Structure 1
Amino acid sequence: MKGWDADMSLKSLILPQLVAYKTSERRYLAKRKRFEHRRQKAGAPHLVEFFHDVSDPYSQLLATVLAEFQARYDVTIKVWHISPPTDAFVPERQKLADYAILDATRLAAKADIDFQVKKIPSAVFQQSTSSENLNADARLARLGHYLGGTLYYGGEWYWGLDRLHYLEDRLTELGVSRQEGLAPIFLPPAVAETSGGVKRPNKPVIDFFLSFRSPYTAIVADRVAALADAYDADLRLRFVLPMVMRNLPLPKAKREYILPDTAREARRIGVPFGKICDPVGRPVERGYSLLPWAIEQGRGMDYVRVFLNNVWAKGVDANSNSGMRRIVEGAGLDWRVARQILGNDDWRDEAEANRLEMMSLGVWGVPSFKIGETVTWGQDRLWLIEDELKKTG
């Protein structure tokens, strides 16, 4: 056991520094600079590759703005028609199909785009053996992605309408915009800039489905708390086991996309992120063992925020007692009490009940949110929850 602890200590000292460098803006910008140098030297055009799964609502929505995008920027667009993702990347295929229709329709309405999903059976494309289709799938895999509705330029991925603004900013910086001063085609709205303005006798309730091992949960927690405070809403913390601890696959391509995308989003919204001590396994369990107690003490959201900030932005090892003490005391809780209950299994039934309810709502990943009858998934859909809060008066 002593040797194992030493290994964990070494890991917690070295890996957070390596990941911080990997996700840093400095490295991000250096990679861009190297790519543009090679492109210019080769005399190559600004090539944007669009991976289009015609059965995918997000692909369909992105396709509707490509003509406008092409008119704005001096780029060459190459369209690849790809197959739907394999089961390894889509553990809940039917849930995804149903949710994507709803979510893409909501996103189009928010962006004021006239759009209607075309329902095309994915099986038609899964069975395709055309050379074009196979070449497109191979190209997508070779570049390291797994989904349609994605744009690729110069080593970076832009998934869906609500990541397009990153590519627009990049192309504008490169001087290939055909017009000056244009706002992005769609910029995800900020939230909680103004409040409902009143204290409510019947507070709305936001169910916040979360995981301590989710980087997207880590960068949304502060905004969720601010949103609830701004609109005098109660937050109900619905913690679930991470996907990989529920025996759901997390292929390398998926991992490789999620981390830089989270870092990019964190930089945009001004949230610390990147110095990571991965809490998968025992650290998550230790964290959850204290969460019901923290909720009872009225410090549940404080504890969630501090835990996530420490492991995802400060490289704190939640597998160590010193790390957990830092988290507990940072949340305003008593470490002397906490250490007596740390590591219990009393939370497991609640976590499973939360998972079952989340699945029954048509979502299967975190962060997800529910207010009234409205359910949404993703840190980039918090605006939908604010829209619902505004309706409650």
Structure 2
Amino acid sequence: MLLRLKIKWLHSQLRAKVLIFRYFLIGQFLGKKAQAEVYLSLNDPHSFMLVQMLSRLAKNYRLDFKVLFIWGTLPGVTICPKLYRQWAIKDANLIAEQYQLVNISAEPSSASLTTGQQTWQLLVNNIKNAEQIFINTWGNHYREHFQTSTPTINHQVKNQTRLKEKGHYAPASISFAGSWFVGIDRLYHFESMLQKFALLDDVTEDFTAKNQLNNIVTPRNYPHKVVNIKAAKTPTVATEPLVIYLSLRSPYSYLGFVQAVNLAERQQIELIIRPILPLLMRGESIPMVKQKYIYLDAVREAKKLGIEFNGFTDPLGDGVINAYRLFAWAQQQGKAVEYILACFQAIYVDGIDLANPENVETIFKKLALDVDDASIYQEQHDWQQWADINQVELTKLNLWGVPCFSYGGYSYWGQDRIFELEKEINIFRTAG
């Protein structure tokens, strides 16, 4: 009950109005110019991309930026730091290609990082100077180097504390009017808010073009539209399947899954579903501040994509187990897509608790699937075994969380990278 009340509050218009009043309207009333805080880590690839884009766009905004350099993500937040680092550099270069930014050819040396951090203390605090520091640091352009100094360390510790106290955890983030926007992928939402407050004439064409919807429809319509993609009658040119690794507890998995189904239907290719256990059921921990941001971010992404998202009925534990126990039979019967979609809809749309096995059985029966047959099949196809196998496969892709997608020899993490998947599919078709 307490969780549902918290979710309801996070969704509420009252909360949004309170934050805007506190962090924006009071300042406007007192005659202060609007200000956004930008938290950057000099060692963070996505911070490098964000500062370049903000430098390019800042002239369009009628507000000031306060740039705060921090050490990085708060301790205990990043899962599999080594794999995350490899992914972050790869993903940053995808962004660089998409927006014609300076890409990453090599990581900055320790001497360059120290010098960049020291140099920042000598410059005027603005986006343009921050961009130059990043370019010099990541390009290892410094010929003379500074040593680490206590004032610089104290400065970043202070900023790191400020980030935490304001309720966030990661670099490459913008704080404005009580909301957070992480990375270039969320500049669309940032610009939309600026437009709402008359601080921007229009959302930048760059982001309007790159955030066009591809006929995404609400999941409620899917049960009437989804076909058995594997048995689709339309001839397929591409022979490679689209594989999605997902978790029922992940809001981004829900958004990524709806888009993947839509993509597979458009391209007439097979969609293979690989469920894995949520991080919290694998012994990992996710700080509450991160869970809160993920949820709020998923809500606004769902709205942008036209995907229905009314709340969250946590399936952690029994809910996930109950759903996974029946999945193998649904898959064997060619109804994996419909089944997972129905489970997601129960969690994020209809407020149905999957921890109650009767609710999962009801979903099953509505798909004309037999629960007894599924139980017998489960004895020979144990959900724990195939979930572990799926996790091993994901690790072999050098990825760890969800949603993840693979097509041919390419793999991507995050529902934001659906457009990259479609590019690969189109290239494959052209080559074929």
Alignment TM class, shorter chain as reference:
0.7 to 0.9
Q: Answer yes or no: is 1:205 the counterpart of 2:241.
A: yes
Per the alignment, residue 133 of structure 1 pairs with 156
1:114-140 Cα offsets, whole Å, 9 max, x none, are 433651368967998522111111111
Per the alignment, residue 183 of structure 1 pairs with 205
Q: 2:70·2:160 contact (CA, 8 Å) conserved in 1?
A: yes
1:90-125 Cα offsets, whole Å, 9 max, x none, are 121111111111111112212233433651368967
**CA distance in 1 between partners of 2:84 and 2:353 (Å):** 34
Amino acid at match of 2:34: H
Closer/same/farther in 2, CA of residues 324 and 244 from structure 1, 3 Å limit: same
Q: Structure 1 residue 206: deviation in Å?
A: 1.0
Per the alignment, residue 270 of structure 2 pairs with 234
Per the alignment, residue 169 of structure 1 pairs with 192
The structure showing larger relative contact order (alpha-carbon pairs under 8 Å, at least 6 residues apart) is 1
Closer/same/farther in 2, CA of residues 59 and 167 from structure 1, 3 Å limit: same
Per the alignment, residue 321 of structure 2 pairs with 285
Q: Structure 1 residue 270: deviation in Å?
A: 1.2
Q: Structure 1 residue 236: deviation in Å?
A: 1.4
Amino acid at match of 1:183: E
Per the alignment, residue 56 of structure 2 pairs with 68
Closer/same/farther in 2, CA of residues 341 and 317 from structure 1, 3 Å limit: farther
Closer/same/farther in 2, CA of residues 181 and 269 from structure 1, 3 Å limit: closer
Q: Structure 1 residue 191: deviation in Å?
A: 6.4
Find the residue that maps to 1:238 and give its secondary structure: strand
Closer/same/farther in 2, CA of residues 250 and 181 from structure 1, 3 Å limit: closer
Q: Answer yes or no: is 1:376 the counterpart of 2:399.
A: no
Closer/same/farther in 2, CA of residues 274 and 355 from structure 1, 3 Å limit: same
**CA distance in 2 between partners of 1:99 and 1:265 (Å):** 22
Q: Structure 1 residue 66: deviation in Å?
A: 1.8
Unaligned runs of 5+ in 2: 118-147, 217-232
Q: Which of 270-279 and 116-125 deviates more?
A: 116-125
Q: Structure 1 residue 182: deviation in Å?
A: 4.2
Q: Out of 174, 183, 191, which is 1:151 matched to?
A: 174
Q: Out of 88, 92, 111, which is 1:104 matched to?
A: 92
Find the residue that maps to 2:291 and give its secondary structure: helix
Closer/same/farther in 2, CA of residues 189 and 73 from structure 1, 3 Å limit: closer
TM-score (norm 1): 0.88
CA RMSD of aligned residues (A): 2.8
Based on CA coordinates, which of the two structures has the bigger radius of gyration?
A: 2
Q: Answer yes or no: is 1:51 the counterpart of 2:87.
A: no
Per the alignment, residue 83 of structure 1 pairs with 71
Closer/same/farther in 2, CA of residues 382 and 142 from structure 1, 3 Å limit: same
Per the alignment, residue 8 of structure 1 pairs with none
Q: Out of 5, 24, 28, which is 1:40 matched to?
A: 28
Find the residue that maps to 2:386 and give its secondary structure: helix
Q: 1:219·1:273 contact (CA, 8 Å) conserved in 2?
A: no
**CA distance in 1 between partners of 2:210 and 2:238 (Å):** 30
Q: Out of 347, 355, 373, which is 1:311 matched to?
A: 347
Closer/same/farther in 2, CA of residues 265 and 29 from structure 1, 3 Å limit: farther
Per the alignment, residue 5 of structure 1 pairs with none
Q: Structure 1 residue 158: deviation in Å?
A: 0.4
1:282-337 Cα offsets, whole Å, 9 max, x none, are 11011111111110010001111110111122110001133213322344433464
| Number of positions where the alignment pairs a residue of Structure 1 with one of Structure 2 | 378
**CA distance in 1 between partners of 2:377 and 2:177 (Å):** 50
Q: Which of 367-376 and 63-72 deviates more?
A: 63-72
Q: 2:329·2:378 contact (CA, 8 Å) conserved in 1?
A: no
Q: Structure 1 residue 252: deviation in Å?
A: 1.6
* Amino-acid identity (%): 26
Q: Answer yes or no: is 1:263 the counterpart of 2:251.
A: no
Amino acid at match of 1:328: F
Q: 1:149·1:159 contact (CA, 8 Å) conserved in 2?
A: yes
**CA distance in 2 between partners of 1:264 and 1:142 (Å):** 23
Q: Structure 1 residue 79: deviation in Å?
A: 0.7
Closer/same/farther in 2, CA of residues 202 and 187 from structure 1, 3 Å limit: closer
Q: Which of 61-70 and 159-168 deviates more?
A: 61-70
Q: Out of 378, 382, 386, which is 1:350 matched to?
A: 386
Closer/same/farther in 2, CA of residues 114 and 293 from structure 1, 3 Å limit: same
Closer/same/farther in 2, CA of residues 314 and 376 from structure 1, 3 Å limit: same
TM-score (norm 2): 0.80
Q: Out of 171, 183, 192, which is 1:160 matched to?
A: 183
Find the residue that maps to 2:28 and give its secondary structure: helix
Per the alignment, residue 214 of structure 1 pairs with 250
Q: Which of 291-300 and 62-71 deviates more?
A: 62-71
**CA distance in 2 between partners of 1:232 and 1:17 (Å):** 41
Closer/same/farther in 2, CA of residues 25 and 306 from structure 1, 3 Å limit: farther
**CA distance in 1 between partners of 2:426 and 2:34 (Å):** 42
Q: Structure 1 residue 233: deviation in Å?
A: 1.1
Closer/same/farther in 2, CA of residues 150 and 76 from structure 1, 3 Å limit: same
Closer/same/farther in 2, CA of residues 169 and 180 from structure 1, 3 Å limit: closer
Q: 1:192·1:386 contact (CA, 8 Å) conserved in 2?
A: no
Q: 1:84·1:148 contact (CA, 8 Å) conserved in 2?
A: yes
**CA distance in 2 between partners of 1:369 and 1:80 (Å):** 34
Amino acid at match of 2:180: W
1:9-33 Cα offsets, whole Å, 9 max, x none, are xx4xx74465144224564355325
**CA distance in 1 between partners of 2:374 and 2:279 (Å):** 27
**CA distance in 2 between partners of 1:356 and 1:333 (Å):** 29
Q: 1:210·1:238 contact (CA, 8 Å) conserved in 2?
A: yes
